[in-house]
Amino acid sequence: MSKFRVGQGFDIHPFSDEPDRVLVLGGVAVEGSPGLAGHSDADVIAHAVADALLGAAGLGDLGSLFPASDPTWLSADSLHLLAIVVERVRGEGWSVANVDCSVVAETPRLAPHCEAMAANLTGVVGAPVTVKPKRAEGLGALGRCEGIACLAVALIEKS
């Protein structure tokens, strides 16, 4: 068995039509933009990080662990879900070395929030997490401002 493993995570959510829905990214409430549609708080960054960690540890995926069909997870705080994932990864004898995220969004402007997002995620994961904002440059659904996506890669090591 390898001492190191890598996992990749991806999540995407459309913007919600609900006027009171808050946009939550990396545990940060981002003002001035519609929230994302989803069963939980739809935090695409936390979801992608969780999926990367689950994949690296060979523990399945976020949807299997927290199915949208289960009312327990309705409006759930995704940082709480991520904390559960981190405990499961640790329970399998792994520790997180680092996680790197690329968030794809035309709007809102994310750069002013990335440091706070990274700090929130680092606190939950217990290892460095970086958050980089990217634009779709007007291409596709993301370029047309229809939602936000995140890609994450995680490195874990045997404890």
- pLDDT for 29 beyond 90: yes
pLDDT at residue 82, as a whole number:
98
Q: What is the mean pLDDT of the chain?
A: 97
pLDDT digits (tens, 9 = 90+) for 116-154: 999 999 999 999 999 999 999 999 999 999 999 999 999
Report pTM.
0.97
Mean pLDDT across 56-73: 94
**Under a CB-based contact definition with an 8 Å cutoff, are residues 92 and 61 in contact?**
no
Q: Is 99 helix (H, G, I), strand (E, B) or coil?
A: strand
- CATH classification (class only), 4-158: alpha beta
For residues 95 and 93, what is the distance between their CA atoms, to the nearest angstrom?
7
- Residue 70: what residue type? D
